[in-house]
Homo-oligomer: A and B are copies of this chain.
Amino acid sequence: MIHFFEYNWQVRDEWFEWCKQLPNAELLKNRTGGAGSILYTLFHIIDVEYSWIRGIQDKEDVVLEFTNYNTIEKVKSLSNTFRIEIAEFIKENVDERKEKVVSVTWDEDKYTVDEILHHIIIHEIHHIGQLSVWARELKLKPVSANFIGRTFLPANLL
């Protein structure tokens, strides 16, 4: 499971770099499908990941307003901040809790930790697929989605 998180975080960082070639207005521009804009998609991925991880931890959800994170620098900084906390938690606490049932405020159903981890991982990969279409619509080469050929060093997981 951990390798999917490492992959998602590495790809996410590559998209942050990719975004630097575009003016902020282009990153904020509303597009067809997905979460709406390139920057909002990245923000949304981070927000959803953090909310579910806090849900697993029985911690209260932190509601984030996109208006406070409307530049690539701010979104990247948010990602980095949460990642330290999430990586630490996943490395140390997840394996023995996989069957634990979790209840969250934003969903009336309950899910196991294992289901939630699958959901978080798939959620990010799916949205990144959407970014790749928008990239081509902008006549730009998207970040590679390949898993093979990547190197994950211990440092990738902080």
Where the two chains meet, the residues of A that have a C-beta atom closer than 8 Å to any C-beta of B are 3-4, 7, 32-34, 107, 109, 111, 114-116, 118-119, 122-123, 125-130, 132-137, 142, 145-149
Contacts and interface: CB of A to CB of B under 8 A. Distances in A.
Contact of A132 (B3, B34, B111, B145): B34
30 contacts: A3-B114, A3-B118, A4-B118, A4-B122, A7-B118, A7-B122, A32-B133, A32-B137, A33-B134, A33-B135, A33-B137, A33-B142, A34-B133, A109-B148, A111-B148, A116-B148, A118-B147, A119-B148, A123-B145, A125-B126, A126-B126, A126-B132, A128-B129, A129-B130, A129-B132, A130-B130, A130-B132, A130-B133, A133-B133, A133-B134
B149 A109 contact: yes
